[in-house]
Amino acid sequence: MRVLVVTAVAAESESVAAGLTARFPAGRSARPGPTVMAGGVGPAAAAAATAAALALASAGGTPYDLVVSAGIGGGFPPHAPIGSLVVADAIVAADLGAETAEGFLSVDELGFGRTAHLPPAALAARAAGLTGARCAPVLTVSTVTGTAARAAELSGRHPRAAAEAMEGFGVAEAAAAHGVAVLEIRAISNAVGPRDRAAWRIGAALAALRTGFEQLSPLFEESS
């Protein structure tokens, strides 16, 4: 099985690749390790980059079997503290829909789309078990939450959500279009809530991401 890992930015890809190096040393592994790429920030960039990579691999006769959306993310207190990991049991487009006087309506409530992708439950549970991550819904948003009111609104609509980030749903849409399974794993850099960029702990989250992928390596080896 071939694995594609999609992050938003290069710093995240480098952490993922560093975590994978022990099990998959460059050029010295019997089996090819996961391919890691930075696809850009936000669901549209992530979907375009993922779809292109999946199509190229397919056309070349070496299709991927699993796509992993990975990177840092915001954690919903108290579910996901800074430095912890979350593996998605649902990848949810939290702001795809319509605002109405009665509240937000998702595209599936509107009847013209889908709002969530479900990773294979056993695979998500195994990934969470290997890494000590919480297994819970991860929200995809196009705008980083920056107020307590918005955080409360999202938590109200998605009470089990442990994290938000900006790419998972885009990666999952591309994977679904190609019939490929998807996972999402987030290392928490900040709390979802009032914007306080100075409080983001990006270094700690990137270190957790690296350790997480080191711990996930056996899963990818089984699957490679």
Q: Which residues bind ligand LNDFFVEH (CB under 6 A)?
A: 8-9, 11-12, 41, 71-74, 141, 144-145, 164-167, 189-190, 192, 202
Judged by beta carbon, residue 153 or residue 221, the one nearer ligand LNDFFVEH is 153
Q: Supply the minimum distance, in Å, between the C-beta of residue 172 and ligand LNDFFVEH.
A: 14
Going by their DSSP bridges, the two strands 116-117 and 85-93 should be labelled as antiparallel
Judged by beta carbon, residue 2 or residue 134, the one nearer ligand LNDFFVEH is 134
Judged by beta carbon, residue 16 or residue 166, the one nearer ligand LNDFFVEH is 166
Q: Which residue is nearest to ligand LNDFFVEH (CB)?
A: 74
**DSSP 8-state assignment for residue 64:** -
Judged by beta carbon, residue 179 or residue 194, the one nearer ligand LNDFFVEH is 194
- Rounded (to 5) percent helix, strand, coil in the chain: 40, 25, 35
Tokens of 139: 């929200």
Q: Supply the minimum distance, in Å, between the C-beta of residue 15 and ligand LNDFFVEH.
A: 8
Q: Supply the minimum distance, in Å, between the C-beta of residue 30 and ligand LNDFFVEH.
A: 32
Q: How many residues does the chain have?
A: 224
Judged by beta carbon, residue 88 or residue 126, the one nearer ligand LNDFFVEH is 88
Q: Name which of 117, 112, 108, 192 is nearest 149 in CA terms.
A: 192
CB 69 within 8 A of CB 171: yes
E strands, the chain, are 3-7, 35-38, 66-75, 85-93, 97-100, 103-106, 116-117, 134-140, 163-165, 181-191
Q: How far apart are CA 216 and CA 67, in angstroms?
A: 14
Any bridge partners for residue 62, and if so which? Answer: none
Judged by beta carbon, residue 94 or residue 181, the one nearer ligand LNDFFVEH is 94
Q: How far apart are CA 31 and CA 47, in angstroms?
A: 27
Q: Supply the minimum distance, in Å, between the C-beta of residue 141 and ligand LNDFFVEH.
A: 6
Q: Supply the minimum distance, in Å, between the C-beta of residue 202 and ligand LNDFFVEH.
A: 5
Q: Supply the minimum distance, in Å, between the C-beta of residue 200 and ligand LNDFFVEH.
A: 7
